[in-house]
């Protein structure tokens, strides 16, 4: 059988010390797992949305208990219920780059996220490069960053997978063979510095309150302040610019990369001073927005917006509908967008 031939691979990639054989899983084996996940989620969603019978509920439990027929020597028997064995089996897929994240949903049902990750030991965050399976109901609070278990700790990963298909599409399949490498290069050179977990209050607000320039400015300021700009400049190429203009549309970072690429004499210190200065301005403008008072609740009590934001962090759209017409908030949001635009302009024109 072809699978038997494939299952043993004399792998020298990660084991430079000598020949080392281990079972190696390929996409065919992965499909067995994905089929099982699909079967489970189809039945689960049916029970959630349309109801069903008790035997169907038991059938759902059976799907979790049933062995997944991934066969190779040295591999343990695995099922969706036995996460430990399943994770061990998945560690044999392409040099151990697969991660299965399990979360408990309402009524104790598990939901799954299967993805390919890339470790970068020199960076703060590792990256997710490809999504293989996402259960319905598995939520990403922040589309850019995700917490996944890594060596016993919940580590934060950059989520680059949503850009994968679009990047292949834009680059017209030329990049297909190198897509992992190129995605992780963009991740480690730019997004590693532009994205940060502490930005999430600002990012949630900008997404839900319609403040696109604020979002661009936050990411630009972080990039300026955290990245090694000399190193970054030497790595900018056409792909970087395409990515930020067509795949992850971020005009501020695109403008910044273009400007430093064309700059002969990069004023790093001045640039970082300017970014720090603008960071303070952005923070103040954002604070002013959050400090606005709104009449809220049945008693129409006046409370500051920050309380509503912090109390409804993951459902901001539900409060925005009721406050979007507030004059003070409108004014503060306008000021914030203006400050963000000024910030982007000041940083991106420094090199010209």
Partner 1 sequence: MIRCFKAIVYISNCITMKPSRYVSDIPSSDGYFRSWHRKNKTDWAGIGIADAYKPNLEYQIRIPAQQKLLAMLKKIRSTISGITGVIRSNDSGFVKMQIGPFYSNYPAVAAAHAALGLTSILEYRQQVPDMILTKYITRIRELVLLDKSPNVQDAAMENVIQQVTNAVQARLILEELSRNNIHSAEIYRLFAASQNSLQFCFLNDIVHTVIVYGNILPSLARVDLHPTTKAIFRALMPISAYYNRKLERTGLTGFIELGIHWASETCLALQDFLTATGVSQDYTLDQLLDHIPPLDSKQPPTLMNQDDVATFISRNLSKAKLQGIAPTNPSAEGKTMQERITKLAATFNEASGQQSKSEDMRTDLVEKALRSSAFQQGPMEGTPASGHEVSVDLGGDKLLTGEIHDRPLELSDDLSKLDMLMSEARPLIQDIKKVLYPNIITVTEKQKLCTSGSLDVSRLAMASFSSAIFKRYPTRSVTDRGGRPVLLIACDASGSLNAKQIRLLKILTLAWIGSTTKTEIKLISGIYHSGMVRQGLDTPLVQWIYHPKKTPALDPRDASRAIISLPDSGTGAQHDSLSISYMVEEAASIAKGRMIYLILLSDCQWNQSFKTEKNGQQEVDAMFTYLNEKYANTLHTTLIGLGVQVKQPVFDKINKVILISQQEIDSTTTVAKRINLYVANSIRERRLSK
275-300 b/e (C-beta count within 10 Å ≥ 16 → b): beebbebbeebbebbbebebebeeee
Q: Which is nearer to partner 1, 31 or 318 (CB)?
A: 318
Tokens in use for 321? 């509908």
- For residue 103, the SS3 value is strand
Q: Which is nearer to partner 1, 75 or 100 (CB)?
A: 100
Q: Which of residues 186-205 bind partner 1 (CB under 8 A)?
A: 192-193, 196-198, 200-201
How many Cα atoms sit within 13 Å of 212 on the Cβ side?
4
Q: Are 98 and 89 in contact (CB under 8 A)?
A: no
Among 32, 34, 72, 102, contact with partner 1 (rule: CB under 8 A): 102
Q: Which is nearer to partner 1, 197 or 338 (CB)?
A: 197
Asked if residue 84 binds partner 1 (CB under 8 A), the reply is yes
Q: Which is nearer to partner 1, 123 or 168 (CB)?
A: 123
Q: Which of residues 114-153 bind partner 1 (CB under 8 A)?
A: 122-125, 141, 147, 149, 152-153
Q: Which of residues 229-248 bind partner 1 (CB under 8 A)?
A: 230-231, 234
Q: Which of residues 146-185 bind partner 1 (CB under 8 A)?
A: 147, 149, 152-156
Other CB atoms within 10 A of residue 69 CB: 11
Among 83, 176, 331, 349, contact with partner 1 (rule: CB under 8 A): 83
Among 32, 43, 48, 236, contact with partner 1 (rule: CB under 8 A): 48
How many Cα atoms sit within 13 Å of 310 on the Cβ side?
8
> How far apart are CB 80 and partner 1 at their closest, in Å?
6
Asked if residue 216 binds partner 1 (CB under 8 A), the reply is no
What's 177's DSSP letter?
G
Strand partners, 134: 113
Other CB atoms within 10 A of residue 73 CB: 9
Q: What is the C-alpha to C-alpha distance for residues 83 and 78, in angstroms, rounded to an integer? A: 8
Q: What is the C-alpha to C-alpha distance for residues 92 and 300, in angstroms, rounded to an integer? A: 59
Q: What is the C-alpha to C-alpha distance for residues 329 and 296, in angstroms, rounded to an integer? A: 14
DSSP string, 110-133: EEEEEEEEE--TTSSSEEEEEEEE
> How far apart are CB 26 and partner 1 at their closest, in Å?
26
> How far apart are CB 158 and partner 1 at their closest, in Å?
11
Among 208, 241, 306, 335, contact with partner 1 (rule: CB under 8 A): 306
Q: What is the C-alpha to C-alpha distance for residues 266 and 260, in angstroms, rounded to an integer? A: 7
What's 197's DSSP letter?
G
Q: Which is nearer to partner 1, 8 or 314 (CB)?
A: 314
> How far apart are CB 301 and partner 1 at their closest, in Å?
6
Stretch that binds partner 1, among 21-29, 177-185, 253-261, 302-310 (CB under 8 A): 302-310
Q: Which of residues 250-289 bind partner 1 (CB under 8 A)?
A: 272, 276, 283, 287
Q: Which of residues 18-47 bind partner 1 (CB under 8 A)?
A: 47
Stretch that binds partner 1, among 3-11, 13-21, 78-86, 340-348 (CB under 8 A): 78-86
The distance from CA 267 to its chain's CA centroid, rounded to whole angstroms, is: 31
Asked if residue 106 binds partner 1 (CB under 8 A), the reply is yes
């Amino acid at each position: 059988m072809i699978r038997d031939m494939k299952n043993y691979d004399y792998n020298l990639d990660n084991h430079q010390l000598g020949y080392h054989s281990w079972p190696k899983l390929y996409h065919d084996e992965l499909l067995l797992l994905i089929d099982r996940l699909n079967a489970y989620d189809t039945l689960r969603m049916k029970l959630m949305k349309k109801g069903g019978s008790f035997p169907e509920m038991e059938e759902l439990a059976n799907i979790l208990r049933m062995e997944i027929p991934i066969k190779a020597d040295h591999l343990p028997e695995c099922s969706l219920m036995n996460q430990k064995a399943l994770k061990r089996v998945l560690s044999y897929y392409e040099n151990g780059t697969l991660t299965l994240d399990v979360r408990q949903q309402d009524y104790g049902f598990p939901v799954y996220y299967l993805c390919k990750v890339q470790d970068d030991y020199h960076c703060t965050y590792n990256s997710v490069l490809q999504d293989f399976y996402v259960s319905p109901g598995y939520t990403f609070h922040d589309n850019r960053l995700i917490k996944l278990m890594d060596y016993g700790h919940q580590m934060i990963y950059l989520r680059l997978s949503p850009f994968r298909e679009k990047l292949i599409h834009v680059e017209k399949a030329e990049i297909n063979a190198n897509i992992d490498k190129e995605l992780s290069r963009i991740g480690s050179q730019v997004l590693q510095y532009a994205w940060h977990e502490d930005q999430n209050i600002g990012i949630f607000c900008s997404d839900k309150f319609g403040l696109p320039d604020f979002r661009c400015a936050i990411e630009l300021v972080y990039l300026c302040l955290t990245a090694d700009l000399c190193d970054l400049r030497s790595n900018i190429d056409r792909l970087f610019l395409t990515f930020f203009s067509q795949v992850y549309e971020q005009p501020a970072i695109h403008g910044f990369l273009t400007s430093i690429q064309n700059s002969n004499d990069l004023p790093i210190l001045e640039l970082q001073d300017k970014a720090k200065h603008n960071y303070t301005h952005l923070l103040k403008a954002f604070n002013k927005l959050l400090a606005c008072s709104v009449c809220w609740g049945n008693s129409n009590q006046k409370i500051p917006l920050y309380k509503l934001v912090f109390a409804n962090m993951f459902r901001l759209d539900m409060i925005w509908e009721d406050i979007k017409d507030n004059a003070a908030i409108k004014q503060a949001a306008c000021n914030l967008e203006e400050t963000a635009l000024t910030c982007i302009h000041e940083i991106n024109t420094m090199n010209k």
